[in-house]
Structure 1
Amino acid sequence: MNFSWSKEQLELKKKAIEFSETHLNQDVSEKDRGNIFPLEEWKKCAEFGVLGWPFSKSYGGSGFDPLTTVLMLEGLGYGCKDNGLPFSLNSQLWSTQMAINAFGTEDQKNKYLKKLISGTIGAFGITEEGSGSDTYALEMTADKVEGGYILTGEKHYITLAPICEIAVVFATTNAKLGKWGITAFIVDNTMEGFTVSEVRDKVGMRTTPMGNLYFKNCFVPDENRLGREGSGLSLFSSAMESERGYIFASQIGRMEKQLELSIDYANNRQSFGQSIGKNQSISNRIANMRLRLETSKMHLYKVAYLDHSDLPLMKEAAMAKLYISEAFVESSLDFIRIFGAKGVVTEYEVERDLRDGLGGLIYSGTSDIQRNIIAKLDGLL
């Protein structure tokens, strides 16, 4: 594996940093306090091409390979103070859009993928009130009728749900088959019986709306079934490999920014007649932040390399999700400790990273679930 970057790739990352620093940092603290989704910034990201980076030009994308894409997403996270916006972009990219790209018909791609790449907001709904880690214990049903299906049920804790216009959702079409009887559908907000909740308040990622999707006798035509009937398990597994492997690409950029800010502060903050960076307790924290950053990059790049090479990546994606999510929390704690009192006062925009990082231990499969996946693939479970 060669993780050296070409001149062109580094220039693309630089452009992503310049774009995010220039266009994505308006009133971040105010939006965080108010649970406000940065819609204008989202539109600017779509115009810049973020939502199309890994997709074919025939659907309005850029056609970048996985390694180039994750490097640019790093740049986006490095320059953007708001972790929520890059997370929202990554969530839509790697789950909703990738599912349609991988399993959709040409008509579905032309109708829905193009819209999503251009900035239409999409959600990916499988989680229910009683099926979180037990992913396939779904109560939502899809009953076959003439010309389509009737969807009945609810999806909970769904990223972008309150503002989505399109959603990929999973329902049981044959309960006797268990997880093999799950089917995916593309629904949009013009379909009668499909509604969404208000934004649910949460500890971090407050600019990323989270909420519920509701289906009450919602008719979905046959042409909106995604993949074959009963193929929901394969579709979900494929989408989760992408999401788990890549969803923290932008957070790695933020970890790099944390490190630079910490080094600068440690060199300039004086205490007991010397810079605090001369204290081993501070320098060791910064060394640990560097180690986590570089190790996180290796996990991310390996997933992208395997993806680009069409090699299996389930275990590596689980390892990337597990390590990077926990590394971001640990580095965010060190970030606060290095800045001392400023680290816990909201106006300095240090503590927000820790709040934003906590959810990463849960969504896209908890850390415990990732460990189970790794252990199972190693022949232990």
Structure 2
Amino acid sequence: MNFGWSEAQLELKKKAKDFALKHLNSEVSQKEQTNSFPLEEWQKCAEFGVLGWPFPKEYGGAGYEMSTSILMLEGLGFGSEDNGLPFSLNSQLWSTQMAINAFGTEEQKQKYLKPLIAGKIGAFGITEEDSGSDTYSLKMCAERVDGGYVLNGEKHYITLAPICDIAVVFATTNPKLGKWGITAFIVDRSCDGFTVSEVREKVGMRTTPMGNLYFKDCFVSESNRLGKEGAGLSLFSSAMESERGYIFASQVGRMEKQLEKAVEYANSRKSFGKTIGTFQSISNRIANMRLRLETCKMHLYKVAYLDDHDLPLMKEAAMAKLYISEAFVESSMDFIRIFGAKGVVTEFEIERDLRDGLGGLIYSGTSDIQRNIIAKLEGLL
């Protein structure tokens, strides 16, 4: 791996950071407190090209290599005080869009991928009420009929579900085949029988809408099947590698911003006649924040390197998801402790990072599931 970045790459990261600082920080606390999705900022991000950075130019993308895209998303996370918006962007990039780009027909890419890159909103639905970590025990079914399929079932806890324009969803077309009978579909919000829930309130990431998708006798044409019938397992596994590997790219940028703020505060705040940064309890926390940040970067960059060179990355993606999600929570705790009372009072916008980080231990595969994946790939039965 080359640990250096070119001047061009660093300039792109700076542009992403400057864009976020200038355009993405309007009334963040108010939106967070009211569970309001920042649609105007989302559209600005689309116009800036965020949703197209790693995708081919023929679909409206920029065609950047993965490592460059990740670096830019890191810059976006540094500049944005709202963790929810970058998370929403990453969620759509690495699940919905990546699945369509990798498995979609040319017609599907023109019809769905291009509008998503331009700012349409897409959800990725596999989780059900009784199938979370046990993903392939899903109950939603797709019955083959003339010209297509009829979908019946529900998807729960889906990012962007309440506001999505389209959804990539998974259903079983042959229950007898178990996970080998799962098929993916692209469903337009306008389809009869497709409805969504209201926004479900959660502990953090409140500007990222989460909700349910409902399908009742929803007809989907055969042209909207994504990949071959029964190929849902392969499609989901591929999309999850991308999502696990990169969904926290912007949180790595946020960790860098935390560190910058912590150092500035530790050098200005005085206690017992000294700046608090001179006390070992504070300096050790800042040292740990730096160590976590640099380790997170190494995990993130390695996944991107493997991706850019078409090398296997399942284990590395699981390690990146596991480590970065847990490191963000730990650094957010240190961030609060360094700021003391200000850290727990909402008006100072310090405690929000911890709340936003907690969900990362669960979504895109829990920390326990990531450890299971890593252990299995190490040869444990």
* Fold agreement, TM-score > 0.5: yes
CA distance in structure 2 between the partners assigned to 1:16 and 1:307 by the alignment: 22
**Amino acid corresponding to residue 42 of structure 1 in structure 2:** W
- 2:157 match: 157
CA-CA distance at 1:146 after TM superposition: 0.2
- 1:249 match: 249
What do the CA deviations read for 1:103-162 (whole angstroms, capped 9, x no partner)?
000000000000000000000000000000000001100000000000000000000000
- 1:13 match: 13
> Is 1:283 matched with 2:306?
no
**Amino acid corresponding to residue 287 of structure 2 in structure 1:** A
Query: What pairs up with 1:1-381 in 2 under 5 angstroms?
Result: 1-381=1-381
CA distance in structure 2 between the partners assigned to 1:188 and 1:271 by the alignment: 59
SS at match of 2:195: strand
SS at match of 1:136: helix
SS at match of 1:11: helix
Structure 1: gaps spanning 5 or more residues: none
CA-CA distance at 1:20 after TM superposition: 0.2
Structure 2: gaps spanning 5 or more residues: none
**Amino acid corresponding to residue 284 of structure 1 in structure 2:** N
What do the CA deviations read for 1:37-94 (whole angstroms, capped 9, x no partner)?
0000000000000000000000000000000000000000000000000000000000
SS at match of 1:139: coil
**Amino acid corresponding to residue 293 of structure 1 in structure 2:** L
| Deviant stretches of 4+, over 6 Å | none
**Amino acid corresponding to residue 190 of structure 1 in structure 2:** S
CA distance in structure 2 between the partners assigned to 1:17 and 1:130 by the alignment: 40
Q: What is the identity percentage for the equivalent residue pairs of Structure 1 and Structure 2?
A: 81
**Amino acid corresponding to residue 235 of structure 1 in structure 2:** L
CA distance in structure 2 between the partners assigned to 1:340 and 1:378 by the alignment: 42
CA-CA distance at 1:190 after TM superposition: 1.2
**Amino acid corresponding to residue 245 of structure 1 in structure 2:** G
What do the CA deviations read for 1:305-363 (whole angstroms, capped 9, x no partner)?
00000000000000000000000000000000000000000010000000000000000
What do the CA deviations read for 1:223-257 (whole angstroms, capped 9, x no partner)?
00000000000000000000000000000000000
Q: CA RMSD in A?
A: 0.3
**Amino acid corresponding to residue 320 of structure 2 in structure 1:** A
CA-CA distance at 1:3 after TM superposition: 2.0
CA distance in structure 2 between the partners assigned to 1:179 and 1:65 by the alignment: 32
SS at match of 1:16: helix
**Amino acid corresponding to residue 294 of structure 1 in structure 2:** E
